[in-house]
């Protein structure tokens, strides 16, 4: 089919143009030296470079396998500390209420013992009707529960 030998340089030139999608007739022109379009096509066949399409884009030929882009990593916002509830930092002055004097509005935190070993209670007003403790003691017990 081809009448003349291709120099290595010409073959390389041919390959370069070919993979870039340059048409055979233009490649023949570029190589010159009497190379015809048919010669180019024949050479391409022999080199196993035949394109499926006439004018593939460069990206078609040499596109690396597409890597599926990972979704952007959602950076979790920094941990925002929970707002601390208003906790009295000092205990109320213990009223040392005995069990006999204790009523529903008295804090039931034991703060002392009398000489007979009887528990004496904080006795401060409870934090609420459903609470058994004053705000200070409630916060202590509440935090203790949460730590478990
Ligand atoms: Zn209390």
Q: Which tens digit of pLDDT belongs to each residue from 45-85?
A: 988 887 665 555 555 555 566 667 777 776 776 777 766 65
Whole-model pTM?
0.40
Average pLDDT, the chain: 81
Whether 140 maps to a domain, the answer reads: yes
- Indicate if 54 and 109 belong to the same structural domain: no
Name the residues around ion ligand 1, CB cutoff 5 A: 107, 109, 122, 124, 134, 137
Whether 75 maps to a domain, the answer reads: no
Distance 56 CA to ligand 1 centre (A): 84
Rounded Cα gap, residues 82 and 137, in angstroms = 20
Distance 81 CA to ligand 1 centre (A): 27
Distance 86 CA to ligand 1 centre (A): 15
- Listed in sequence order, the DSSP H helices in the chain are 8-19, 24-31, 37-47, 58-62, 135-147
- Indicate if 103 and 54 belong to the same structural domain: no
Q: Which domain holds residue 37?
A: 1-60
Whether 92 maps to a domain, the answer reads: no
């Amino acid at each position: 089919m081809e009448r003349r030998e291709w120099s290595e340089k010409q073959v390389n030139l041919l390959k370069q143009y070919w993979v870039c999608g340059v048409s055979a007739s233009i490649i023949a022109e570029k190589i010159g030296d009497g190379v015809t379009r048919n010669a180019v096509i024949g050479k391409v066949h022999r080199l196993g470079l035949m394109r499926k399409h006439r004018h593939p884009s460069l990206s078609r030929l040499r596109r690396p396998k597409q890597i599926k882009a990972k979704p952007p990593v959602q950076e979790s916002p920094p941990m925002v500390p929970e707002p601390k509830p208003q906790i009295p930092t000092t205990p109320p002055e213990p009223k040392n209420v005995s069990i006999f004097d204790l009523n529903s509005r008295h804090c039931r935190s034991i703060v002392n013992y009398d000489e007979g070993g009887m528990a004496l209670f904080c006795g401060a007003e409870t934090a609420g009707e459903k609470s058994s403790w004053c705000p200070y003691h409630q916060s202590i017990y509440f935090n203790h529960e949460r730590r478990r």
